[in-house]
Amino acid sequence: MCGCQNPTSPTTSAGNATDTAAIIKDGVVKTILERRSIRKYTNQPIENEKLAQIIECGLYAPNGMGRQSWEVRIVDNPELLAQIDAAYSKFLGKENPNPPKKAAYGAPVLIFIGYDTTYDLSQVDCGLLGGNMMIAAQSMGIGSCCLGGICRFFNAPEGCELLSKLDFPPTHKLLYAIAFGYPDESPKAKPRMMEKVKYIE
Ligand SMILES: Cc1cc2nc3c(=O)[nH]c(=O)nc-3n(C[C@H](O)[C@H](O)[C@H](O)COP(=O)(O)O)c2cc1C
């Protein structure tokens, strides 16, 4: 259908101003635009039902060939979180005289996401899963932060003992983690690079 246009969709890149105003009032768009990475959390735990709902929203993300190629591991045990903090801080301490004491900024829940190394689009599945979870969390007033750095540690020789606790099958590799908790800060959005987006005529 290359070159065809849907007669009901806007024909200009600017769209229709009235339609745009209506869209911005929509709850989902507001939630997406208001989500920020949170790096300071309160002590308030996440309610079980809310956590379950966040996870369900992740699992309902689109996924290639319906394979649901991710593996998801939830860590909310304070002792294990403290173990992770200590090991990560020690790992960073090799190069940083003042390493951060908290691997996940003190968040009460850490979700680890593994991708299927036998499926070329599995990382896309995993990204969409996490995106859904973070937006769902935001809609409930729960903050989140993607964490790539901590996974470099888990995937390094020093992190292998903790990695084995995640119990991924041999086909899967840890891709990233997400911290979840009630926010104790309200950071502003960094400006987005609109020049990266082009309408192709
Ligand atoms: C793949 C990925 C890895 C990230 N890793 C980290 C991390 O290790 N530590 C951290 O504080 N933030 C991390 N972030 C959060 C980004 O810094 C953040 O999303 C970005 O600056 C945009 O800010 P916003 O999320 O508030 O819109 C990561 C985000 C992504 C998508």
Q: Would you kindly state where each structural domain of the chain is located, as residue ranges?
A: 38-181
pLDDT of residue 8: 39
In contact, 129 and 176? CB cutoff 8 Å: no
102 C-beta closer than 6 A to ligand 1: no
Q: For a substitution probing ligand 1, which of 35, 105, 145 has the most ligand atoms within 8 Å of its CB?
A: 145
**CA of 39 relative to ligand 1 center, distance in Å:** 10
- pLDDT of 20-65, one tens digit each? 666 555 789 999 999 999 999 999 999 999 999 999 999 999 999 9
- CATH code, residues 38-181: 3.40.109.10
Q: Is 143 helix (H, G, I), strand (E, B) or coil?
A: strand
pLDDT of residue 132: 98
Q: 51: closest CA among 3, 109, 1, 2?
A: 109
Question: What is the rounded distance in angstroms from the CA atom of residue 126 to the CA atom of residue 176?
Answer: 9
- Give the pTM: 0.90
Give 62's Cβ-side CA count (13 Å radius).
3
Find tokens 């829940």 and name the residue: 109
- pLDDT of 97-110, one tens digit each? 999 899 999 999 99
157 C-beta closer than 6 A to ligand 1: no
Kindly report the protein residue whose alpha carbon is nearest to atom 23 of ligand 1: 37
In contact, 63 and 123? CB cutoff 8 Å: no
Q: For a substitution probing ligand 1, which of 40, 126, 133, 147 has the most ligand atoms within 8 Å of its CB?
A: 147
Kindly report the protein residue whose alpha carbon is nearest to atom 27 of ligand 1: 36
**H/E element, 144:** strand 143-147
Phi-psi region of 88 (alpha: psi -120 to 50; beta: other; left: phi over 0): alpha
